[in-house]
Amino acid sequence: MQTALSEKQEPLGQHDVEVGAGKPNKRQVLLGSGSLAIAVIEALCLFFVSANGLIVLLGGASITLAQGAVLFHSTAIRLPLLSLATLGALLNLWLLFNAWRLRSAPSARWRKKPLEPKERRRIAIVTTLSVLTLLFVAAELFLHHRLHGSSFARTLVPSAQIEQNFTSV
């Protein structure tokens, strides 16, 4: 007695052996889609579990580095760094202005080529960053003056004075 399944089966022919021949049926597509969906969910889960550990690490590092920032905010370090940033930004702007002036000179017109987009981008980025640096330095000096009474005031308070301030309150 033969079953309905055995009646419908055909012997394997040459065309059935080829890999990748024919379209997948709906069942194969459904199984593949389900596997892909589960893989995406697992990847998202792994990402969030890993990010959670990274967030804890960043939080701990930021607390630790916040105490170290007090050292870098001392006048002996802050003012030379602000001076170097200002000098670097002004040097960049002067070099860009000088290059523009030399390119625009009448004696350079015969060999003047249009700037490539890459060079234009570089000039725009350098100009923007230099102007931003000068604005940040000015803002830091202004805010330091508003908070401490002088742009050049000492910001480190000795620990003995801190303890006196807390005990006197």
In the block, residue with structure tokens 């301030």: 165
Choice among 13-27, 42-56, 100-114, 128-142 with the minimum mean pLDDT: 13-27
Q: In the prediction, which pLDDT does 86 show?
A: 94
Tokens (6 digits) for 95: 């070099």
Q: Is the pLDDT of residue 3 over 60?
A: no
Q: Is the pLDDT of residue 156 over 60?
A: no
Q: How far is CA 80 from the centre of its chain?
A: 27
Q: Which one is predicted more confidently, 6 or 69?
A: 69
Q: Is the pLDDT of residue 160 over 50?
A: no
Amino acid sitting at position 21: A
Report the 10 Å Cβ neighbour count for 133: 18
Tokens (6 digits) for 68: 């170290």
SS (H, E, C) 68-96: HHHHHCCHHHHHHHHHHHHHHHHHHHHHH
| Contact call for residues 89 and 130 (beta carbons, < 8 A) | yes
Q: In the prediction, which pLDDT does 34 show?
A: 81
Q: What is the pLDDT of residues 92-150, one digit of tens each?
A: 999 999 989 988 888 877 788 888 999 999 999 999 999 999 999 999 989 888 887 87
Ordered by start, the domain boundaries in the chain are 25-72, 73-162
Size of the chain in residues: 169
| Contact call for residues 133 and 89 (beta carbons, < 8 A) | yes
Q: Which one is predicted more confidently, 8 or 51?
A: 51
Query: Dihedral angle at the C-alpha atoms of 132, 137, 139, 144, nearest 10 degrees?
Result: 160
